[in-house]
Amino acid sequence: MKKLALAVAVPLALFGAATFYTSTQVEAIARDAVNQANLQLREMSVGAGADVSLTLLSFERGLLSSAARYQIDFNIPDDEGNDRQFSLLLNDRLEHGPFPVSRLARGQLMPVAAQSHFELERTPLTQKLFDAASGEVPLVGDVTIGYDGGQAGDLRTAALNLEDEDGSVRIAPANLNFKANKDGSDVRLDGELAEIDIDTQRSDSGQPVQVSLRGIGLSADKQDYDAGFGFGPSAITLERMEIKAGDEPAVVIQQASIDEALSRGSRGLDQTIAYRIGEVSAKGQTFRNLALAFSLRNLEESSLKALVASYMEILDQSATPQESFAGLTSAQQQGLQTRALELLEHKPTLALDEFGFETAHGAARLSVVLDLQSPSAEAFTPDAMITSMLASLKADAGIDKDLVRDIAGLVVQNNARDGQLDQAALQQETDAATDLFSGMALNTGWSRLEGERLVSSLHYANDKVTFNGREMSVPEFLGFAFGSVQNAGLLGQ
């Protein structure tokens, strides 16, 4: 019997000791988390025109759980330069480790330092959100805090129905899952918002406007985050958006995304960002595979971080970027120039990797790659400096003539007043506009015809230009470009 009592008493004593020890550490963990959050918020707000900070207002420690109260302060300048300040309050119940009851109830047996359950507090400022949430708490969250300081959890919003004299907004419940290590250098995010419906009206005409969004997603997987740089991908996605104004046909956008990634390449950092739309339908015309993709490659890491740090320091000295650069000193300007030149020494590449779209009858694509270098010591004027910075340029463009016809038809239809042009007249004007554009592109020499596709290519290196297969010097190319534009009548008199 004594052995059984001892077998029960020892684990209970150890559990009690671990719980008591953890209870003494939870407040320090909470304060460390607030300090770390403020560092991240400070870094994110520089240059954004808004300041956000987090304060731990109170902490009441108990044996098995503690209660904390936080305040999030926002300072946002308005269009007139005045600061608008407001605050949100959060209530937090922190269950102490190593085995919080809520985790045990879910079968989660891994010991942790604490389990946080927080929610938005009802205040005069947030009362409309509570009303819109039909009595539910608009924002709640759970965060697991490990003994190593890492955090993992989720944020959840209630369904919201906002109404006023201008219209209504309905927002479906949303959730955001996250995981981060102690110092926030490694972060993973995964969020989803299923639906947003907006019913409003134009202020000028009173015409009703309906906007619906479906399938909004957010994801990020960043490592080694430091000084504004995090390696890995991030993305914002949208499955469908529909915009309808009055009796006009709806504009429908499907499968849209913004994708960004930072990685280490063989010659430095590579940064890419791409805007893509799977399909856009408007006024009877459909465009597919719209893309706008940029990249910065071969960026020397230490030089880039030094340049960004100087830039952030300048932005931080005033409330808005305009004010910051208006007060730029000669020393600061010289510092930015020096760091930019250091970056150019490593010969980075700036590229428009892809710009294009498709219709049912054709496609258009454009790509431009610029290889940069340090400007020549003999370049004393801004124009000469910019010219000497360009080591090489390669551009390729192509557009199908049938796509030109589709675009011309959309422009003619948009410009025509109701009832003034019948279908035959619309087709005639479309054909004329198509022939005018194609003829001008070919007659000026800016394009050549390959099958039914207008193509152009430009390559520059070592003070030589190759344009559509024709080699010439830079002055010859500039003379050709100016002359062809002038002959086409695009410069007027």
DSSP for 140-153, please give it: EEEEEE-TTS-EEE
Interacting residues of 255 by C-beta distance below 8 A, sequence separation 6+: 238, 239, 240, 276, 277, 278, 279
Q: Taking the CA of residue 213 as centre, how many other CA atoms within 13 Å lie in the half-sphere pointing to its CB?
A: 14
In the prediction, which pLDDT does 9 show?
37
More confident residue, 179 or 109: 179
**In terms of Cα–Cα distance, which of 219, 287, 209 is closest to 253?**
287
pLDDT recorded at residue 380: 60
- Rg from Cα positions in the chain: 30
Q: How confident is the model at residue 7 (pLDDT cuts 50, 70, 90)?
A: very low
Q: Mean pLDDT, to the nearest integer, of 445-458?
A: 90
Tokens found for residue 298: 């071969």
Flag the least confident range among 42-51, 229-238, 427-436: 42-51
Question: How many residues are given for the chain?
Answer: 493
d(CA 348, CA 373): 7
Q: What is the pLDDT of residue 8?
A: 35
Run of H or E including 201: strand 187-201
- What is the residue extent of each domain of the chain? 1-158
Longest dimension (CA), the chain: 110
Q: Where residue 139 falls among pLDDT bands split at 50, 70, 90?
A: very high
- Whether 204 has a pLDDT exceeding 80, the answer reads no
Over 90: is that where the pLDDT of 394 sits? yes
Q: What is the mean pLDDT of the chain?
A: 84
Helix axes 401-415, 423-443, angle to 10 degrees: 130
Q: What is the pLDDT of residue 79?
A: 63
* pLDDT band, very low/low/confident/very high, at 487 (cuts 50, 70, 90): low
Helix or strand (DSSP H, E) at 255: strand 251-265
In order of 152, 173, 227, 479, the CA distances from 111 in angstroms are 14, 31, 33, 75
Residue type for position 153: G
Q: What's the rounded mean pLDDT across residues 248-275?
A: 94
Structure tokens at 80: 């007139």
Q: Is the pLDDT of residue 14 over 50?
A: no
More confident residue, 225 or 369: 369
Give the 3-state secondary structure of residue 405. helix
With a pLDDT cut of 70, the percent of the chain lying above it is 87
For the full predicted model, state whether its pTM sits above 0.75: yes
Q: What is the pLDDT of residue 224?
A: 86
Which of residues 46 and 364 earns the better pLDDT score?
Answer: 364
